[in-house]
Chain A
Amino acid sequence: MTSPRRVTPEPFVWLMFSAGGVVAALILPVLLVLFGVAIPLGWVEAPDHAHLLAVLRHPLTRLALFGVCALALVHAAHRLRFTVEHTFRLGRYDPAIATVTYGAAAAGAAAAAYLLLTAFG
């Protein structure tokens, strides 16, 4: 006896969720400490523009940054989908909520790709 196979994107979404959680956990704290707290408060000197531009111009940096942005956004979208549904008991609106959250993540990832591909000419 095999159960009828249902094809759903859920396993793929959970995989992206997990990968996004890992990259967000690994990479975001140090960037947030630097650019959100330490540099604004003057504890650490800001990298000079030429250096940061050189780092960002490197294709590997941009590829990695795109991966981080896309995965972290899908992660956030996935979590927010269930947060909204569980916290406010809105499970019956799942199709609409999923469309909005993943749609926003896809739009963000597309914006990141566009920026990283075109802004450095």
Chain B
Amino acid sequence: MISPLEARYYRRRMPLLWWAHRRSYAIFVLRELSSAFVALFIVELLLLVRATARGPAAYESFLDTMAHPAMIVLNLIALAFVLLHAITFANLTPRAMIVRLRGRRVPSRVVLAGVYAGWLLVTAFLAWLLVAA
């Protein structure tokens, strides 16, 4: 028997790699790690802005750096993480946001469809603005 005092201060010891033992925990940690790649890409984006502001030569040299195989590999990894972030965040929306229309709750499938439609719209607009216009 342990005393109530001991029970109060008992902390189950967690192994340092507790998250590696189960798939769902590992996905949780991967999702959390995606934020590091979000931050990394923000830095790349700001470097692009700076290079563009500095003139055509700086812009060309930025594009050359981005075309380096190591950068492409890094960006592919970053893309996988950013997509993991985007998909998990989008799928969370119907749970985080209850939409009501004329007093009735809009089904979460409809909310989710709206989220993906909005995402598609933003994506198409940015692609048009940057490379098609």
Q: Give per-residue flags for A46-77: 1 if the beta carbon is below 8 A from chain B beta carbons, else 0.
A: 11010111011000000001001100110111
Further 17 A-B residue pairs, CB within 8 A, beyond A35-B48, A79-B32: A25-B90, A26-B118, A30-B123, A31-B41, A32-B78, A40-B72, A46-B131, A55-B129, A72-B39, A83-B32, A83-B35, A86-B32, A87-B19, A87-B29, A88-B16, A108-B39, A108-B43
The number of residues on chain A lying at the interface, defined by a beta carbon within 8 Å of a beta carbon of chain B, is: 54
Asked whether, in the complex, the Cβ of A30 is within 8 Å of the Cβ of B126, the reply is yes
Question: What are the residues of chain B within 8 A of A82 when measuring CB–CB?
Answer: 32
Most buried by B among A25, A37, A89: A25
Asked whether, in the complex, the Cβ of B78 is within 8 Å of the Cβ of A36, the reply is yes
In Å, the complex CA distance between A39 and B29 comes to: 31
Question: What are the residues of chain A within 8 A of B53 when measuring CB–CB?
Answer: 53, 56, 115, 119-120
Asked whether, in the complex, the Cβ of A76 is within 8 Å of the Cβ of B35, the reply is yes
Question: What are the residues of chain B within 8 A of A21 when measuring CB–CB?
Answer: 85, 89
A27 within 8 A of B: yes
B113 within 8 A of A: no
Asked whether, in the complex, the Cβ of A89 is within 8 Å of the Cβ of B14, the reply is yes
Secondary structure type dominating chain A contacts: helix
Could you tell me which A residues sit within 8 Å of B by CB distance?
18, 21-22, 24-37, 39-41, 44-47, 49, 51-53, 55-56, 65, 68-69, 72-73, 75-80, 82-83, 86-89, 108, 111-112, 115-116, 119-120
Question: What are the residues of chain A within 8 A of B75 when measuring CB–CB?
Answer: 32, 36-37, 40
Question: Smallest distance from the beta carbon of B31 to chain A beta carbons, Å?
Answer: 9
* CB within 8 Å: A-B pair count: 151
In Å, the complex CA distance between A56 and B61 comes to: 18
Q: Give per-residue flags for B14-34: 1 if the beta carbon is below 8 A from chain A beta carbons, else 0.
A: 101001000000000100111
Q: Give per-residue flags for B40-73: 1 if the beta carbon is below 8 A from chain A beta carbons, else 0.
A: 0111111011101111100110010011000110
Asked whether, in the complex, the Cβ of A40 is within 8 Å of the Cβ of B67, the reply is yes
Report if A115-B38 is in contact (Cβ < 8 Å); known contacts: A24-B86, A82-B32.
no
Question: What are the residues of chain B within 8 A of A88 when measuring CB–CB?
Answer: 16
